[in-house]
Structure 1
Amino acid sequence: MRQKIGAALFGLGLLCVAVAVGLVWLIVPALKQVPYDVTPPDIVVVAPSATFVSARTLPDGDPAVTVETGTLRSATGIKPDNEAAAELAGSLAGETLIWNVYQATDWVDRDLPVNRAESRIALDRVSGAAVEWDGQCYHDMEAVESGTTGCEAGSIAYAGQLYLFPFDTKRQTYQYFDGILRQSLPMLYQGEEEIAGLETYRFEQTVPQRELDMDEETLTQLLGFLAPEATTATMTYRASRTLWVEPMTGGILGYREQQRQELVPDVGPPVVIFDATFQYDDATADAVVEQASDGRAQLLLLGRYLPTGMLVVGVLVAVAGLMLVFVRRAVAPRSAEDATGTAS
């Protein structure tokens, strides 16, 4: 009977060890992929005391372009396109998210729209980085427009990180996409900081001042209102970004972006047409922290605590089973000898 119990315990111990190994090598890697059915929370950033250009139509029908100061609010909403993702083939199949992204920037003080944009992007489910896909697009819309209107496939080539960092983010430099320059630039690891009780990696990106390309119509309109004596001008741009990333999930728990653009006419002083520092609003900060906390807790439970516990229990149970089997076998011959000696 003891031998049977020992064998059963040994088998149970091996099962626990096998489950622990399965959790680490099979279940957890599956969890370290962004699910298709997850819709990220809306991301809202605000910039108090921002300087920006406001283009609008006056009551008499004439256009007006002025430089204003006030609070800007920019909201980004994401809608996963699972049908498009399911149709991907080759190396993208099963490994790629397709997201429709909508952005709206408003002048809070006057409750007026400033900018609307939409885009489509393909992201790797593990690294969170943009991947090559011929359906990528970006479209600036008139503030009064809504819905998907004119986001033409191939109008942009996204690369690097945008909305996510990799699961198990490393202390290294990543490429992060600059939407103004439409290219990815280095984002450097700068240290560790704590946000809402969670350890994060701080990354920083600096975009040195450079000139931007402008179409002739936009340039003419800006000069007509902001530098009427000039005949031509250049547009300069510089920026800096700081991101605080929870490394286990790749969630961006803190965000700060500073942008400055100047119109530099050939006559007269430069005109600041955009100068703003954006950060998460309170609701966004709470939402991203909660999402990262839940994801981190699940990964720790299934990837560390549960496998470790099952491994320890499995080894102990298996050893106990072996001890029952071998102790029984060792005792049995001695009992036989004792019985023989007594009979003689």
Structure 2
Amino acid sequence: MKRRITGATLFGLGILCVLLAGALAWIIVPSQRKVPLDLIPPDVVLEASNATFAQVQLGPDGAPQLTVENAGLRATTGIKPDFEAAADLTGDLEGNTVIWNVFNATDRADTGAAVNRSESRIALDRESGEAVTWPGQCHNEAPQDPSQNTACTPGNVDFEGQLYLFPFGTQKQTYLYWDSALHEALPMEYQAEEEYNGLPTYRFEQQIPQQIINLEPQELSALLGFLTPGSTTGSVTYQATRTIWVEPETGAIVGYRELQHRELVPVVGTPVVIFDADLGYNQATLDVVGEKAADGRSQLRLLGTYVPIGLVVLGLLLAVLGYLIARRGRRPYYQAPARTAEPETTRAQA
């Protein structure tokens, strides 16, 4: 009797292990492939060793002056999640969206003097990493004259596509990636599998051909007035190439390079390069994003692959062992042999 109970228990535990493996692989882990609501991303720093850029500085009389400089650049992006705003979301956004306040600061590498400032508020889908429609989204570029600052006005931009994250389980396909200069999402094409920063990654590339970008009239007038005196009309052309390395399990961007070129083109006169730089993650950024991506990848693979496989193997062993023990615990059933009828004796007749 005890053998049968032990065998049945082991068999039940084996089935339970198999069911738990299936739940981990197909229900629990997939449901956790989302950006944590309490995630605080690390600061990301892009550097260019030798760049050309327009910079506003105060002259001897205290008035702002715009000049073209050559020096190293350091661009820092900091992200501060807005937990309260995310908690107030309703409808399809509730529980599926994070709200991030993003601050960008570009400075000279040699003196630390400010070159550009911008801020954004953006809503991102926790699973795909894409920007989602939200009335509070906004973007503000600091104007060339730092004394004329404007606020980040809700609804002044419609973010779309990928910005700071790719989907969990990134695929070998083309994604739309946001371009801040053009204020639209453009194709980012898959190129190849590569090992980058010690991780298996997918490399994507975005090519933006030369084109005119829209500037506020006062900003364009300031550029023309300072850099091409005598010309009152013109345009700014822009072109860029971005290369991104993505760890596909987590969708983390573990490598980034951007080549950007802008020129002020007056109707009369010679074009002036106002920005030209080859920007990429510095070593500190490579280290921190690589470590976080590796940890996330290991955790997802452990819970989504290795643990379920181990549970299935253990479950099958327990089930087989339980069946064998229960089978041996059965008492053999013996059936008494049928008694053969003895022939009746008859008296011998005299």
TM-score range for the pair, normalised by the shorter chain length:
over 0.9
Please give the alpha-carbon distance, in whole angstroms, between the structure 1 residues aligned to 2:34 and 2:194.
Answer: 25
Please give the alpha-carbon distance, in whole angstroms, between the structure 2 residues aligned to 1:310 and 1:83.
Answer: 40
Asked if the contact 1:114/1:143 (under 8 Å) is kept, the reply is no
Aligned to 2:256: 255
Letter in structure 2 aligned against 1:83: E
Please give the alpha-carbon distance, in whole angstroms, between the structure 2 residues aligned to 1:255 and 1:2.
Answer: 63
Gapped regions of structure 1 (runs ≥ 5): none
* Distance of aligned partners of 1:291 and 1:143 in 2 relative to their CA distance in 1, 3 Å threshold: farther
Aligned to 1:191: 192
Deviation of 1:332 after TM superposition, in Å, equals 1.4
Asked if the contact 1:113/1:143 (under 8 Å) is kept, the reply is no
* Distance of aligned partners of 1:113 and 1:79 in 2 relative to their CA distance in 1, 3 Å threshold: same
Letter in structure 2 aligned against 1:323: L
Letter in structure 2 aligned against 1:126: E
Task: Output one character per residue of 1:86-113: Cα deviation in whole Å (capped at 9) or x when no partner.
Answer: 1111111110010111111101112201
Aligned to 1:217: 218
Deviation of 1:260 after TM superposition, in Å, equals 0.6
Worse-matched range after superposition: 193-202 or 167-176: 193-202
Deviation of 1:302 after TM superposition, in Å, equals 0.3
The alignment's TM-score, normalised by the length of structure 1, stands at 0.93
1:75 and 2:76 are equivalent in the alignment = yes
Worse-matched range after superposition: 9-18 or 243-252: 9-18
Letter in structure 1 aligned against 2:332: A
| SS of equivalent residue, structure 2 residue 332 | helix
Aligned to 2:20: 19
1:166 and 2:167 are equivalent in the alignment = yes
Please give the alpha-carbon distance, in whole angstroms, between the structure 1 residues aligned to 2:197 and 2:286.
Answer: 9
Aligned to 1:332: 332
Aligned to 1:134: 135
Matched positions, count: 335
Deviation of 1:73 after TM superposition, in Å, equals 0.6
Deviation of 1:298 after TM superposition, in Å, equals 0.3
Task: Output one character per residue of 1:234-275: Cα deviation in whole Å (capped at 9) or x when no partner.
Answer: 110011100000000001111001111101111221110001
Please give the alpha-carbon distance, in whole angstroms, between the structure 1 residues aligned to 2:198 and 2:214.
Answer: 43
Deviation of 1:197 after TM superposition, in Å, equals 2.4
Asked if the contact 1:124/1:130 (under 8 Å) is kept, the reply is yes
Please give the alpha-carbon distance, in whole angstroms, between the structure 2 residues aligned to 1:257 and 1:199.
Answer: 21
1:294 and 2:298 are equivalent in the alignment = no
Please give the alpha-carbon distance, in whole angstroms, between the structure 2 residues aligned to 1:144 and 1:63.
Answer: 7
Gapped regions of structure 2 (runs ≥ 5): 341-350
| SS of equivalent residue, structure 1 residue 130 | coil
Aligned to 1:200: 201
Please give the alpha-carbon distance, in whole angstroms, between the structure 1 residues aligned to 2:120 and 2:291.
Answer: 26
Please give the alpha-carbon distance, in whole angstroms, between the structure 2 residues aligned to 1:218 and 1:133.
Answer: 28
Deviation of 1:210 after TM superposition, in Å, equals 0.7
Letter in structure 1 aligned against 2:302: L
1:48 and 2:30 are equivalent in the alignment = no
| SS of equivalent residue, structure 1 residue 326 | helix
Bigger fraction of residues in helix: 1
Please give the alpha-carbon distance, in whole angstroms, between the structure 2 residues aligned to 1:98 and 1:198.
Answer: 28
Asked if the contact 2:228/2:266 (under 8 Å) is kept, the reply is yes
The alignment's C-alpha RMSD in Å is 1.8
Letter in structure 2 aligned against 1:39: I
Task: Output one character per residue of 1:256-313: Cα deviation in whole Å (capped at 9) or x when no partner.
Answer: 0111110111122111000111100111000000000000010011000001000111
Please give the alpha-carbon distance, in whole angstroms, between the structure 2 residues aligned to 1:141 and 1:186.
Answer: 27
The alignment's TM-score, normalised by the length of structure 2, stands at 0.92
